[in-house]
Chains A and B, each alone.
Chain A
Amino acid sequence: MAKSITFTLNGKKTRAEIDPDQTLLWVLRNHFGLTGTKFGCGNGFCGACTVLIDDEAVRSCSVPFGDVQGKKVVTIEGLAVNGRLHPLQQAFVDNDALQCGYCTPGMILTALALLKKNPAPTRAQIIEGMDDNLCRCGAHPRIIKAIDEAAKKMKGGK
């Protein structure tokens, strides 16, 4: 049964009449057209569908839409401001830290949640924080480097 859900989506107050049992992943993709959030496995093992809910990285395939009531949801589409890439996005570009690009949105949002908690992670902490996000192309070394670079830039107040 559809229910009115109010939440903040990429900085905008949003209200939607949607079945709260639907997964956040497919509501974002199919109702809001935010297809940067990818379907990878449907059971939380791969991280391609990662979004932020109140600054925490969560697997949107495993979250009922109703859970976002009153919360702040950020998807990959919400990171760039006025066309200016977020430092993490820019660092991925600068390091060619992607190939097919399918896991990339989930990687960037997982990294963002990590940096919000720990703005100056060590290499080991980056690896630990990213370990449950899968990439089949093997961009791992470049992703680690991109996150490290972004962390250093973001600490500079950018």
Chain B
Amino acid sequence: MKKVNTTGKSAANEAAAIKRRDFFRILGGGILVFFSPWDALGIMALPADQARTLTKDYNAFVHFAADGSVTCYTGKIEMGQGIINSLPPMMADELNVAIEKVKLVMGDTELCPYDAGTWGSLTTRSFGPAMRAALAEARGVMVELASEKLKVPVSDLKVENGTIISLKDPQKKITYGELAQGKRIERYLTVKPPVEDYRDFTYVGKPRFRTDSVEKVTGKALYAGDLKLPGMLFARILRPPSHGATLKSVNTAPAEKIAGVKVVRDGDMVAVVSENKDLADEAVAKIEAEYTFSEMPVNDKTIFDWMLKADTSSSVSNTAGNIEEGRKESDVVFEHEYHDVYLAHAPMETHTALAVFEGEKLTVWAATQSPFGLQDGLAQGLGMQRDNIRVIAPFVGGGFGGKSAYQQGIEAARLAKVTGKPVMVVWSREEEFFYDTFHSAAVVKVNSGMDDNGLIKFWDYHVWMAGTRGAEQIYEVPNRKTTSYSRGRNAPPVHPFATGPWRAPNNNTNTFARECQIDIMAARAGIDPLDFRLRNLKNQHVIDCLKAAADRFGYTPGRLPSGRGIGIACGFDAGTWQATIAEISVDRNSGKITVKRLVCAQDMGLCVNPQGALIQMEGCLMMGMGYALSEEVLFEGGDIKTKGFDTYEIPKFSWTPEIECIILDRKDQAPQGGGEPAIIAVGAVIANALFDATGARVFRVPLTPSRVLEALKKS
């Protein structure tokens, strides 16, 4: 199953193939074990222009130091999602070492071997098992070394708490630290994940509180913007008023008049720099610029028709049976259209980067989910050799997918080059709301049918611009088809601005459409919506989630609309199944929805850190209320109207419902994603709860008071 290269030619060849860096100079000796975990998902997710020879590079390595500590170096980053807490238990369990001895170094392209990026809830489910397998091998290397030293056969040795002990003579023992003393050993491993055995875990599966919280409550945790270098300049860049604007003429004289400010240009970029951040802010506002405009004739109201009329190419998936047959077998058919809007990521930390050149060598500290992606972007953008670029991601102040994009890092580097000084770029909130890679707006049309027993007979699903994540049919439907429409090859752009992944990318769209449609069918059938789902489901994972959520909620059956304001939905994301139940109240005069309670149950396989996973679920539910109730990017052509927290409203303390999260005990199953799944059903449960409360149906998110009032009038 596994091959351990501890000596011999192939290891030497592989070692030569990677760009060798003098790790020992940095680490001061010890034992280094490199490993190349199988990370098929990571490789597939890699954009073509960032492709690297992964088979010859090593994805991570572990360093045994003389003080007994064991450090794993990985290109993953910590942005609040808590992998800083979920990786160490896996390390400690595999190495049989106390968790206090385990350390992580993350997100530094110089120290950490290549990693595509931190997204897709992949760290625990994909990287984790590979890392565990590799660490098991690393432990094997240590046992071999101990065997040589103690002159005891490997088969007669065991590892306990970082100490390798002879089974026959417990006096013969040596610690990891002692083995590493004065050593400079490198070993290279190629491994693939073994079968998990949860029964041997000491740390995995036990709740573990955050290890970064003391730093974060004392203000000591450093984010990219907290760094400072001698002579550092703050930069502000002149921005167009709209994505359709092109700079025609510029007068920088008013900015240049401000003492302590310098205007710099690099190609089409006009910027001001100053050691004083406030002066840079003041100066950039004084630049007079004229633009020509070429706006796409679309706005937040017309976008849906625009998408339906766009030049698209389609792909068909998830097919079974025959839609026309299903239609014939149906006693009732349904046809509805659902809309989703553009959303901003709006992390509290805006895109920030500090760049400095030392000779040919460029170092960039950036708020990024993809340090290696930024490294590639810099190589391309500045025409540099990748080896001369180091990117470091310190603590990241929220990402949610938005910090997969790294424009600010390239801007800082260009300005550092032009000025010859360290340059800090901190996007303003307006810039953040302008250059964000928004969650895409989308249209979904669902045509479905059922028989008189409430059994779904066909499901003809069409989705525009959202893709198919979450569009998999989780219900038992004999005749089904999913058609996904995206921008056609060589077709003009559909979006007036950049779009990109937003927490559980587009699963929110598809789960909203599917679960609203299911509710509409349940209502028509006169069957309780939980019962209707259970009748049409065979997947035990989601059935268990629904039952667990209903049990915790204290759910009692009722026909829609029951007047109670209870909504149900379920779904699947990142390998994890979930069911959510909401209870809301509706102010019929204002149309305002208040969410009183959210209960969510999820089956995520083996849960590595139940405390961290619960917090992610709570965070998903809170954040999800935003897209469900208020968040929407308003625009006219490329002109974004919602460039502040006053116009783009995110969830607040006063929205906080009673939140209860349940993680099903599935220790014997492979770990799945935890950072995204709980967000996917929030839109649907609230829309379904609104219908249950009032009989009014809103076919789009967000369910703003005015849309609720409009629906109430129709109902």
> Residues on A close to B: CB < 8 A?
19, 21-23, 26, 29-30, 33-43, 45-46, 48, 75-77, 79-80, 85, 89, 92-93, 96, 98-105, 108, 126-128, 130-144
CB-CB under 8 A from A133, the residues of chain B are 653
For the complex, is B611 an interface residue (Cβ under 8 Å from A)? yes
Please choose the segment from B92-100, B135-143, B215-223, B374-382 that sits at the chain A interface, where 4 or more of its residues have CB less than 8 A away: B215-223
B651 and A85 contacting across the interface, CB-CB below 8 Å: no
CB-CB under 8 A from B10, the residues of chain A are none
Instruction: Please give me the residue from chain A that is nearest to B349 by CB atom.
Output: A102
Given contacts A26-B276, A42-B428, A100-B79, A76 and B218 within 8 Å (CB-CB): yes
Q: Which listed residue (A37, A38, A93, A130) contacts B348, Cβ 8 A?
A: A38
Q: Please report whether the interface of chain A is mostly helix, strand, loop or mixed according to DSSP.
A: loop
For the complex, is B333 an interface residue (Cβ under 8 Å from A)? no
A99 and B653 contacting across the interface, CB-CB below 8 Å: no
Contact with A along B204-231 (1 / 0, CB 8 A): 0000011011111111111101101000
B650 and A96 contacting across the interface, CB-CB below 8 Å: no
B217 and A89 contacting across the interface, CB-CB below 8 Å: yes
Question: Whole-angstrom distance from the CB of B214 to the nearest CB of chain A?
Answer: 6
CB-CB under 8 A from B348, the residues of chain A are 38, 40, 46, 48, 100, 102-103, 134-136
Given contacts A96-B615, A136-B347, A101 and B80 within 8 Å (CB-CB): yes
A-B contacts, 17 listed (Cβ < 8 Å): A21-B278, A35-B226, A37-B219, A38-B225, A38-B348, A39-B225, A41-B644, A75-B219, A76-B218, A93-B210, A93-B213, A93-B217, A98-B217, A100-B348, A100-B395, A101-B80, A102-B349
Contact with A along B293-329 (1 / 0, CB 8 A): 0000000000000000000000000000000000000
Instruction: Please give me the residue from chain A that is nearest to B395 by CB atom.
Output: A101
Instruction: Please give me the residue from chain B that is nearest to A123 by CB atom.
Output: B656
CB-CB under 8 A from B225, the residues of chain A are 35, 38-39
Q: Which listed residue (A39, A41, A77) contacts B645, Cβ 8 A?
A: A41
Instruction: Please give me the residue from chain B that is nearest to A31 by CB atom.
Output: B276
Given contacts A30-B228, A100-B79, A127-B654, A36 and B218 within 8 Å (CB-CB): yes
Q: Please report whether the interface of chain B is mostly helix, strand, loop or mixed according to DSSP.
A: loop
CB-CB under 8 A from A22, the residues of chain B are 276, 278
A138 and B228 contacting across the interface, CB-CB below 8 Å: no
B219 and A142 contacting across the interface, CB-CB below 8 Å: no
- From 82 to 109 in chain B, residues with beta carbon under 8 angstroms from any chain A beta carbon are 82
Q: Which listed residue (A77, A99, A128, A131) contacts B619, Cβ 8 A?
A: A99
Instruction: Please give me the residue from chain A that is nearest to B345 by CB atom.
Output: A136
- From 349 to 385 in chain B, residues with beta carbon under 8 angstroms from any chain A beta carbon are 349-350
Given contacts A38-B349, A138-B622, A79 and B218 within 8 Å (CB-CB): yes
B219 and A102 contacting across the interface, CB-CB below 8 Å: no
Instruction: Please give me the residue from chain A that is nearest to B655 by CB atom.
Output: A140
Extra inter-chain contacts (13) besides given A38-B223, A100-B397, A140-B656, CB under 8 Å: A22-B276, A35-B222, A45-B645, A45-B646, A80-B218, A93-B209, A100-B347, A102-B349, A131-B654, A136-B400, A138-B651, A140-B651, A140-B652
Q: How far is the CA of A96 from the CA of B82 in the complex (A)?
A: 11
CB-CB under 8 A from A89, the residues of chain B are 217-218
Q: How far is the CA of A79 from the CA of B220 in the complex (A)?
A: 12
The size bracket of the interface on B is: 35 or more
Instruction: Please give me the residue from chain A that is nearest to B208 by CB atom.
Output: A96
Q: How far is the CA of A96 from the CA of B213 in the complex (A)?
A: 7
CB-CB under 8 A from A144, the residues of chain B are 653, 656
B213 and A138 contacting across the interface, CB-CB below 8 Å: no
Question: Whole-angstrom distance from the CB of A5 to the nearest CB of chain B?
Answer: 15
Contact with A along B425-461 (1 / 0, CB 8 A): 0101100000000000000000000000000000000
Q: How far is the CA of A15 from the CA of B164 in the complex (A)?
A: 59
Q: How far is the CA of A49 from the CA of B220 in the complex (A)?
A: 15
Q: How far is the CA of A24 from the CA of B518 in the complex (A)?
A: 54
CB-CB under 8 A from B620, the residues of chain A are 138
Closest 6 CB pairs of A and B: A36-B219, A138-B622, A100-B80, A102-B397, A101-B216, A99-B80
CB-CB under 8 A from A140, the residues of chain B are 622, 651-653, 655-656
Given contacts A30-B228, A85-B214, A100 and B396 within 8 Å (CB-CB): yes
CB-CB under 8 A from B270, the residues of chain A are none
Given contacts A26-B277, A45-B646, A127-B653, A77 and B218 within 8 Å (CB-CB): yes
Q: How far is the CA of A132 from the CA of B652 in the complex (A)?
A: 7
- From 489 to 532 in chain B, residues with beta carbon under 8 angstroms from any chain A beta carbon are none
CB-CB under 8 A from A105, the residues of chain B are 217, 219
CB-CB under 8 A from B400, the residues of chain A are 136
CB-CB under 8 A from B276, the residues of chain A are 19, 22, 26, 30
B220 and A141 contacting across the interface, CB-CB below 8 Å: no
B615 and A142 contacting across the interface, CB-CB below 8 Å: yes
CB-CB under 8 A from A34, the residues of chain B are 219
Instruction: Please give me the residue from chain B that is nearest to A37 by CB atom.
Output: B219
Q: Which listed residue (A21, A39, A79, A100) contacts B398, Cβ 8 A?
A: A100
Q: How far is the CA of A48 from the CA of B346 in the complex (A)?
A: 13
CB-CB under 8 A from A98, the residues of chain B are 80, 210, 213, 216-217
A39 and B621 contacting across the interface, CB-CB below 8 Å: no
Q: How far is the CA of A143 from the CA of B619 in the complex (A)?
A: 12
B622 and A101 contacting across the interface, CB-CB below 8 Å: no
For the complex, is B659 an interface residue (Cβ under 8 Å from A)? yes
Question: Whole-angstrom distance from the CB of A141 to the nearest CB of chain B?
Answer: 5
Q: Which listed residue (A33, A108, A137) contacts B228, Cβ 8 A?
A: A33
